Amino acid sequence: MIFSELEPFLDKKRRELLAALDAFGPEERHLSEYEGGWNPAQIIEHLSIVEEQVIAEIGRLLSGEAVRPSEPEDRKRVDVMALFEQKGLLGTPKTSPPSAFPTGKVAYEDGLERLAEVRGRLKALLPLLAARETNSLVSRHPLGVELNACQWLQFSAVHEWGHIHQLKRIRKVHSG
């Protein structure tokens, strides 16, 4: 993946998320994959929390270093998939840090509005990331991998992708 593919990737994963959510009627939004698992409204809240944390982390990275001209697009590291695969993190269940747990108090529709607002703020970072060097703006992800500012942004969509699969599993469990 190259930098110019980030925004289309974010948009594609969001469309997939909304399609997965559309599979649940209003009377089904309490369903979870297993006892004590998150329901669709909680997943939406969790995604908003994580994306806000990503925005804060990227902001911290951007403010902590002198601005240098951007690398050429083909040298701007963006993709997290190889890193996650190398660490054995793809396709494995993970425990969310407590700071990203949903409260369960956010109504479904309010959660969707918040999710859209947060995504807008995340995408607003794209021009800032495009204009400056980002490969050296690195911090450690809770899963133990070092991510640069662009990789943090892509992580948002990859994280969302995992919860799309979770929603599909919930739907399958309750489809009879």
**pLDDT 10s digits, 7-29:** 999 999 999 999 999 999 999 99
pLDDT digits (tens, 9 = 90+) for 70-92: 999 999 999 998 888 888 887 77
pLDDT at 176 exceeding the cut of 80:
no
pLDDT digits (tens, 9 = 90+) for 111-143: 999 999 999 999 999 999 999 999 999 999 998
Residue 30 is given by DSSP the state: T
**CATH 1.10.3720 matches 3-23+38-173:** no
Helix 6-22 / helix 40-63 crossing angle, nearest 10 deg:
160
pLDDT at 101 exceeding the cut of 70:
yes
Those residues with Cβ within 8 angstroms of residue 163's Cβ, 6 or more apart along the chain or in another chain: 17, 43, 46, 47
